[in-house]
Amino acid sequence: SERHDILIVGGGSAGIAVAASLLRRDAGLSITIIEPRDTHYYQPGWTMVGGGIFERSQTHRPMARVMPKGVQWIRERVARFAPEKDEVILEDGTRLAYGVLVVAAGIKLDWEQIDGLPGTLGKNGVTSNYTFETAPYSWELIESLKEGGALFTQPPMPIKCAGAPQKIMYMACDYWQDNKRLGGIDVAFHTSTPALFGVSAYVPALQSYVDRYGIDLHLESRLIAVDGESKRATFAEGDGEVTRDFAMLHVTPPQVAPDFIADSPLAADSGFIAVDQETLRHPHYGNVFALGDVCSAPNAKTAAAVRKQAPVAAWNILAMLNGADRHASYDGYGSCPLTVERGRIVLAEFGYGGALQPTFPNWLIDPTRPSRLAWHLKVSALPWIYWNGMLRGHEWLARPDIEPGAMEEPAALEAASP
Ligand code: FAD
């Protein structure tokens, strides 16, 4: 079988960012990315598409354009892993051998778990910002809704961007309030979680918006079935079930590790790729790394997390290849810009154990309160940082913590830094 020095599975946020990060450090590396799609998506933009702020065209670019120069792109799908032989097997049966494997295949949206949902998504008032196809339908529904029930749902954790299920709800309420319609619309949030947000520091600000908009909050309430034709949604609550009518339903789908990941020898019990949560290295197969939504580390699954993980993984891969025994470590950083109204965001930034990790000083952005500056950051700065920084291996605000005495930064990186 063909041999690849560094083989990356997935060309999403994590796969492209880690490839770019590696090449910044050593332009001579031979890197291959396996990615079946011809389009790369900026998923954090989908919340803004659903909220009527962005056009969908702002959230995608041709895959060929984001592939770092010098990377070999194999447009195929991985089917299986054989880590004891250092091989991956593609869907067409081709076996590829590797020196280092990096798994960055994302998370699976598991629509099938909800009875009746796959057949009605994208019509009958049923929408989701979680797909490129349906995000514009969210805005169509929000803009046209005059009265009736508007239901927003959140499945059990883990999900990517845990704030996204409620971001769209607040933006919708703000729009309805501005247009004097909120009084006629019954808004409810059904979340499977026991609290409004996993990190308690952000709950008071969010709760104040729930109160302001008059949202009917149902904690530990899980969507189990949708009847699109009759516009009814059924939820499991406590020991029983409740069915509610809706005019619009925004669904955040249950999310699990992709099947070929969960079924592989690399998976942890959770189904995600087992990694040491600081080094992002597999605990058993030392030449295997994983980052992004597919890895088992207990951080908030976000592109913001990937921004910090990519340089850590890159560093540790190079340390391994160079025989260095010191490593860079990832502190669990993730971020969720919570759009509480059009023009204001609560900028949640936190690491392992819910430790707050604000990027900005408190006087500039108070992380627990709605901020106008944070809104501009989300609308203008973050997409630019994504396309031009993170996907190109620039590590603005994301240089990794390296253990004291770790190997010197390779000269190639210093020369290339802005
Ligand atoms: P992805 O970017 O999803 O990429 C996975 C890639 O793997 C895909 O390109 C896929 O084609 C490929 N792949 C899958 N299977 C195979 C296979 N068998 N073989 C080869 N390749 C395969 N993050 C934030 O930081 N801030 C936000 O505000 C935010 N908001 C969000 C809002 C929404 C609605 C959504 C959906 C996400 C949001 N996120 C946000 C989360 C963010 O988009 C993800 O955490 C991030 O994209 C994870 O990157 P990834 O590379 O792990 O996965």
Identify the CATH number of the domain in which residue 391 sits.
3.50.50.60
Domain end position, chosen among 255, 271, 294: 255
Percentage of the residues of the chain whose pLDDT score is greater than 90: 92
- One domain for residues 190 and 277: no
Tens of pLDDT, residues 299-352: 999 999 999 999 999 999 999 999 887 789 999 999 999 999 999 999 999 999
> What's the CA-to-centroid distance between 157 and ligand 1, angstroms?
16
343 within a domain of the structure (yes/no): no
- For residue 128, being part of any structural domain is answered with yes
> Is residue 361, in this structure, part of any structural domain at all?
no
Residue 352 maps to a domain: no
> Same structural domain for residues 402 and 274?
yes
Rounded average pLDDT over 45-68: 98
Looking at residue 401, what is its pLDDT?
65
Q: Which of 63, 161, 289 is the pocket-test mutation for ligand 1 (most atoms within 8 Å of CB)?
A: 161
The pLDDT of residue 354 is above 90: yes
Residues 313 and 407 in one domain: yes
**Among 49-53, 175-179, 324-328, which stretch is predicted with the lowest mean pLDDT?**
324-328
- Considering the domain architecture, whether residues 238 and 185 belong to the same structural domain is answered as yes
Residue 359 domain flag: no
Do residues 249 and 264 share a domain?
A: no
Which residue range forms the structural domain that includes residue 196? 109-255
Report how far ligand 1's centroid is from the alpha carbon of 121 (Å).
20
Decide if pLDDT at 406 tops 60.
no
18, pLDDT greater than 70: yes
pLDDT tier for residue 397 given thresholds of 50, 70 and 90: low
pLDDT-derived band of residue 104, with 50, 70 and 90 as boundaries? Answer: very high
pLDDT band at 220 (very low <50, low <70, confident <90, very high): very high
Domain boundary among 228, 255, 282: 255
140-151 mean pLDDT: 98
Average pLDDT over residues 387-409: 72
CB 164 within 8 A of CB 253: no
Q: Is the pLDDT at 410 greater than 70, yes or no?
A: no
CA of 294 to the centre of ligand 1 (A): 9
Atom of ligand 1 nearest to the CA of 295: 52
pLDDT above 50: residue 122: yes
Asked whether the predicted pLDDT for residue 407 surpasses 90, the reply is no
Do 49 and 25 fall into the same domain?
Answer: yes
Whether 72 maps to a domain, the answer reads yes
C-beta of residue 226 within 8 angstroms of C-beta of residue 130: no
Report the share of the chain in percent with pLDDT over 70: 95
ipTM exceeding 0.90?
A: yes
Mean pLDDT of 100-118: 98
Rounded CA separation 228/380 (Å)? 36
| 336 torsion bin: left (phi>0), alpha (psi -120 to 50), beta (else) | beta
User: Tokens in use for 201?
Assistant: 């520091």
Same domain, 195 and 266: no
Query: pLDDT tens digits for 272-290?
Result: 999 999 999 999 999 999 9
pLDDT of residue 2: 80
The residue nearest atom 4 of ligand 1, judged by CA position, is: 12
Q: Identify whether 355 is part of a domain.
A: no
Last residue of a domain, one of 233, 255, 277: 255
Whether residue 273 sits in one domain with residue 221: no
| 25 and 140 assigned to the same domain | no
Q: Do 7 and 124 fall into the same domain?
A: no
For residue 106, the ligand 1 atom closest to its alpha carbon is 53
Residue ranges of alpha helices (H) inside 38-163 are 46-50, 63-66, 117-120, 135-144
What is the DSSP annotation of 306-340? HHHHHHHHHHHHHHHHTT----EE----EEEEEEE
Mean pLDDT over the full length of the chain: 94
User: Distance (Å, rounded) from C-alpha 322 to C-alpha 316?
Assistant: 10
228 and 103 share a domain?
A: no
- Answer yes or no: do 288 and 216 share one domain: no
Helix (H) or strand (E) holding 99: strand 95-103
Query: Which residue's CA is minimally distant from atom 28 of ligand 1?
Result: 44
Total number of domains in the chain: 2
**In which band, very low, low, confident or very high, does the pLDDT at 414 lie, cut at 50, 70 and 90?**
very low
Determine, yes or no, domain membership for 346. no
